[in-house]
Every structure is written in C-alpha cells, then in structure tokens.
Amino acid sequence: MKTNNNIYVDPSAIVEGASIGDGTKIWHFTHIMEAEIGKDCTVGQGCFIQDGVKIGDNCKIQNNVSLYKGVILEDDVFIGPSAVFTNVRKPRADSVVATSAYAKTIIRRGATIGANATIVCGIEIGADAMIGAGTVVTKSVPPGVTVVGNPAGILIKDNHGTPFVVSFEQYFVKKKHFNRP
C-alpha cells in the first residue's frame, strides 16, 4: 500500500508519471501512464489508463475499464465495469496510426456509462446522460438522455409513460417539432 496526500495505490498497480488528486484510490493490477486524475476518484481493479487521458474530480471507474489517449472525463462521471473506449476510427494491425490522428472522446459532467458499453471515439456524451449496459454508442449523445441498444437509440416515454426507443434522427426531429417558438 502506497499512500501520499491521502492517495491510495495498491502495491500491484503500476503508476508511471501520472498526476493524481487527493483522496483518489487506485486498486489491484491497474496500470496508469502519464494521465491526469482528479481528486476523490476511484479506479477499479484491472484498469488501464493511457498517457494523455484526463479524468475530473469524483469519477468512479469500475473494474476492467481501459481509457485510451484522447478520452476526457469531466467531474462526477461513472464508468461501469468492462466498458470499452476506442481512440482510432479505422485501426489496422499492419500500420501505425499517428497519435495526432487519435479522435477525442469527451464524457461530460455527471454522465453514467453502464457495464460493457462500447463508446466509439470522436463523440461527446452530454452532461447527465445515461448509457445503458451493453450499449454501443457511435454518435454524440445529448445531455440528460438515456440511450440503450446496438446501435444506441434514445429511450423516451409515450403519453402513457411506457418507455420505447427511437433513433437519434427521430429524437432530434421530434425535439425540433416540439421546441418551435
């Protein structure tokens, strides 16, 4: 157990040149490169956080999550177990992608990403959005909505309160229709 400024790093974790805020806990078998991690965060067992990742304050990153260069988490973000993030749109095994070509992914304040969700790079998850477990997110998600499915659709309720899923396109057309002056 390593402690410094109220930071806990499990002895099995590897932390290389990262900036870590007070009150943060890093658990078993986690590898953190030169990332910025805010205060009062929890990084679960078996996580990988690559250099260049930025994590705000009070974030909870559950077991087996990998955050690659280009991922930014604002404050109060929850990432469920085994959620997957990417940072290259068209990866190939036989070629090297320049780090300048990595796509940025921003997870805004208060967003929740469920277990086993896949977040494709180059998008933004809006503040307080909820990403359901197992959801595959390929487009930016508006603030405050819940998305589920593969590909992700937006969960809304009908006039009787019954939930159903609509495409992003249907959601924006309906929202535009109802928000006219």
Contact 34, 17 (CB under 8 A): yes
Tens of each residue's pLDDT in the chain, 181 residues? 455 679 999 999 999 999 999 999 999 999 999 999 999 999 999 999 999 999 999 999 999 999 999 999 999 999 999 999 999 988 888 988 888 889 999 999 999 999 999 999 999 999 999 999 999 999 999 999 999 999 998 988 878 888 888 888 888 776 654 454 4
DSSP 172: H
H helix and E strand count, the chain: 1, 24
Alpha-carbon torsion 97, 101, 107, 109, what sign?
positive
Residue 169 in domain: no
The model's pTM is: 0.89
Residue 151 in domain: yes
Residue 89 in domain: yes
Residue 163 in domain: no
Residue 126 in domain: yes
Count of domains observed in the chain: 1
Residue 175 in domain: no
Q: Report the CATH number that the domain containing residue 121 is assigned in CATH.
A: 2.160.10.10
Give residue 151's domain range. Answer: 2-155
